[in-house]
Amino acid sequence: MRILRLGPLLETFAFNDIARQLAALPTRCTLSHYRDRKGREIDLVLEARNGHVIAVEIKATTSPSVKHLDNLRWLRDKLDGTSPGSFQTGILLHTGPHAATLGDRLHLRPISTLWTPQTST
């Protein structure tokens, strides 16, 4: 019996849905995956033409930990040092129900927020 690995499937699904939603916006940005020689990886990096960056990690877990934010934190600190103001936010999408802000520009959000209408207050 083959065991389905949910992580890569969830990453692909989220990547495709984010790309679909971005295609409807008037502002264009590039979507890429980042991996360096030291094994640091960011599932999705969105970069606007003005250089602003949003980094997204996707985890198939209902209980994300602060450790899951390590690569987002690393990218934030690297960009703050080399290109101040370019890193806008880092988001960890997960399969649990909870949302939280954990540090400077780093957020945990349920993956369901991709389909939940956002309202402004």
Give the DSSP per-residue string, 95-110.
SSS--EE-STTEEEEE
Contact 33, 12 (CB under 8 A): no
What is the rounded distance in angstroms from the CA atom of residue 80 to the CA atom of residue 34? 17
Tens-digit pLDDT profile for residues 16-44: 999 998 888 888 899 999 999 998 999 99
Q: Is residue 35 part of a domain?
A: yes
Q: Is residue 119 part of a domain?
A: no
Q: 118 pLDDT band (50/70/90 cuts)?
A: low
Q: What is the distance, to the nearest Å, from the Cα of residue 6 to the centroid of all Cα atoms in its chain?
A: 17
What is the rounded distance in angstroms from the CA atom of residue 96 to the CA atom of residue 27? 30
Q: Is residue 89 part of a domain?
A: yes
Tens-digit pLDDT profile for residues 28-87: 899 999 999 998 999 999 999 999 999 999 999 999 988 999 999 999 999 999 999 999
Q: Is residue 52 part of a domain?
A: yes
Tens-digit pLDDT profile for residues 4-19: 577 888 888 899 999 9
What was the pLDDT predicted at 23?
Answer: 87
What was the pLDDT predicted at 27?
Answer: 82
Residue 120 has pLDDT above 70, yes or no: no
Q: Is residue 120 part of a domain?
A: no
Residue 121 has pLDDT above 60, yes or no: no
Q: Is residue 43 part of a domain?
A: yes
Q: Which of 64, 66, 88, 58 is nearest to 75 (CA)?
A: 88
Can you give the residue range of the structural domain that contains 87? 6-114
73, two tokens: 């934190």
Neighbours of 17 (CB within 10 A): 13
Q: Provide the number of structural domains found in the chain.
A: 1
The CATH number of whichever domain residue 95 belongs to comes to: 3.40.1350
